């Protein structure tokens, strides 16, 4: 296996952008990544593209990336369209890493994009519902439930019941939202760039269970792109970050006794990279809600379950703490452009490891981890990607 380096990265701001189509967002991100990598577009031999919802939002079910890339210099190379729910572009990165590490290509691009904001909220709801097993839902609740009910909101309500999955103090959940909003205020690409107080978070409208709106990630539009190259590829700038591990797992979701597949992916990634969680300098993880972030701390080996709330109260995971989590602002502040989220997480790691993050820079960052999940099947996530990057 060859060393694989991320030599270039570019992304749009994540925001509701009614005046911009997917094509315009993709062109901005691709152009920025190619310039950052200092490569001739002709050296890019393949594109791996992640997108989740274009088929439902615009009707462009097939050849999504070919259409979005139509006016870029990358047209004409092999283009792979990957859909894996919220882990779509993380999965695209995993496949691109395999191609470069295995010697199939010396230089490739990884793209993630999403155009999810729409005046028809029914379309948005159906796109979110499609991240779950609609057949199973129809069997349990009737066929209409799969298209007419807000399944995501119902899942939040059920999972945030203190008697079931989330016994977290609401103040701790609010502290997570405050932390990530504070980080996002330092990120010019973030959807939300305003800081909040604990009182503002707790006093906001309830979305489900004990979760208020700032505790839940906003859906947003955006695109993000990476340029990968083999370690000895000479026609790219020498910098970026090395992909020390890339792991993809899929949950079975049929047995509550089985361990969550996120933990399995993390353990495999640490073994592949030859590192331990205690060596990490920063983490970007899938904080779809504030509670999601807290549940992931022990799954990723960042702390024991009994220490989760202390981790937050002691500001261990805030900028300036021992292990900053989501310095980009995470999904809660940067926003969740579904198909672009995975690549955006890795872009944050690359820029941190290069010392290019300005006011949100983690000092002397050398090792980072990105964790992204996608979809839900039975009792587990449908997909999980974990990437470890080294400076």
Arithmetic mean of pLDDT, 258-287: 96
**DSSP letters for 18-84:** TT--HHHHHHHHHHHHHHHHT--GGG---EEEE-SSHHHHHS--SSHHHHHTTTSTTBTB-EEEE-B
In the predicted structure, residue 187 carries a pLDDT above the cut 50: yes
In this predicted structure, what is the pLDDT of residue 360?
98
Give the alpha-carbon dihedral of 171, 175, 178, 183, to 10 degrees. -170
| pLDDT level of residue 164 (50, 70, 90 thresholds) | very low
pLDDT value of position 260: 85
Q: Where are the strands (E) in 185-240, listed by range?
A: 206-208, 211-212, 222-230
CA atoms lying within 13 Å on the CB side of residue 299: 23
Please, where are the H alpha helices in the chain? 22-37, 54-58, 64-68, 88-101, 121-129, 134-141, 145-148, 151-159, 170-184, 198-202, 261-273, 290-299, 308-313, 330-334, 341-353
Flag whether pLDDT at 370 surpasses 80. yes
Q: What is the pLDDT of residue 112?
A: 98
Task: Map residue 292 onto helix, strand or coil.
Answer: helix
Residues found in the chain? 391
pLDDT at position 139, please? Answer: 76
Look-up of token digits 């899929």: 250
**Residue 374 and residue 87: Cα distance in Å, rounded?**
4
**Residue 69 vs residues 31, 92, 138, 341: alpha-carbon distances, Å:** 11, 16, 37, 19
The pLDDT of residue 160: 45
Predicted confidence at residue 145, as pLDDT, reads 57
Q: How confident is the model at residue 183 (pLDDT cuts 50, 70, 90)?
A: very high
pLDDT at 161 over 50: no
Convert the pLDDT of each residue in 188-198 to its tens digit. Answer: 999 999 999 99
Contact predicate 116/338, CB 8 Å: yes
pLDDT of the residue at 95: 98
* CA–CA distances in Å: residue 256 to residues 240, 260, 264, 291, 379: 40, 9, 15, 20, 6
Q: Tens of pLDDT along 68-88?
A: 999 999 999 999 999 999 999
Encode pLDDT of 230-265 as tens digits.
999 999 999 999 999 999 999 987 776 777 899 999
Confidence of residue 274 (pLDDT cuts 50, 70, 90): very high
Cβ atoms within 10 Å, residue 202: 16
Cα torsion 4, 8, 14, 19 to 10°: value is: -130
pLDDT band at 163 (very low <50, low <70, confident <90, very high): very low
Mean predicted confidence (pLDDT) in 375-389 = 93
Average pLDDT over residues 313-336: 98
pTM of the model: 0.94
Please report where in the chains the tokens 């809660």 appear, as a residue. Answer: 332
Confidence band, pLDDT 50/70/90 cuts, at residue 162: very low
**The domain defined by 4-118+218-390 carries CATH number 3.40.47.10:** yes
Give yes or no for residue 93 having a pLDDT over 90.
yes
Mean of pLDDT values over 276-286: 98
Higher pLDDT, 91 or 151: 91
């Amino acid at each position: 296996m060859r060393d694989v380096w991320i030599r270039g990265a570019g992304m749009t701001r994540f925001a509701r952008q009614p005046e911009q189509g997917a094509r315009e967002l993709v062109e901005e991100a691709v152009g920025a990544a190619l310039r950052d990598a200092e490569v001739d577009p002709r050296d890019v031999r393949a594109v791996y593209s992640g997108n989740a919802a274009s088929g439902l939002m615009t009707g462009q079910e097939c050849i999504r990336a070919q259409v979005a890339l139509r006016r870029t210099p990358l047209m004409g190379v092999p283009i792979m369209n990957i859909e894996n729910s919220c882990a779509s572009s993380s999965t695209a990165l995993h496949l691109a890493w395999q191609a470069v590490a295995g010697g199939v290509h010396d230089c490739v691009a990884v793209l993630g994009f999403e155009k999810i904001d729409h005046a028809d909220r029914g379309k948005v709801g159906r796109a979110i519902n499609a991240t779950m097993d609609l057949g199973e839902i129809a069997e349990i609740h009737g066929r209409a439930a799969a298209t007419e009910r807000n399944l995501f909101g119902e899942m939040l309500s059920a999972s945030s019941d203190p008697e079931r999955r989330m016994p977290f103090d609401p103040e701790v959940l609010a502290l997570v939202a405050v932390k990530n909003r504070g980080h996002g205020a330092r990120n010019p690409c973030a959807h939300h760039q305003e800081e909040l107080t604990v009182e503002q978070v707790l006093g906001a409208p309830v979305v489900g269970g004990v979760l208020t709106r700032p505790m839940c990630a906003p859906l947003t539009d955006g695109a993000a792109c990476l340029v990968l190259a083999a370690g000895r590829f000479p026609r790219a700038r020498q910098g970026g970050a090395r992909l020390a591990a890339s792991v993809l797992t899929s949950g079975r979701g049929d047995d509550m006794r089985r361990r969550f597949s996120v933990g399995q992916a993390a353990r495999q990634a640490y073994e592949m990279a030859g590192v331990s969680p205690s060596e990490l300098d920063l983490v970007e993880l899938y904080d779809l809600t504030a509670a999601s972030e807290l549940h992931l701390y022990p799954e990723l080996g960042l702390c024991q379950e009994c220490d989760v709330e202390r981790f937050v109260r002691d500001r261990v995971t805030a900028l300036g703490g021992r292990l900053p989590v989501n310095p980009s602002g995470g999904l809660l502040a940067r926003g969740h452009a579904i198909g672009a989220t995975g690549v955006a997480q890795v872009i944050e790691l690359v820029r941190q490891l290069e010392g290019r993050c300005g006011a949100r820079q983690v000092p002397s960052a050398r090792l980072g981890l990105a964790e992204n999940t996608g979809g839900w099947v039975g009792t587990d996530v449908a997909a999980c990607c974990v990437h470890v990057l080294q400076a």
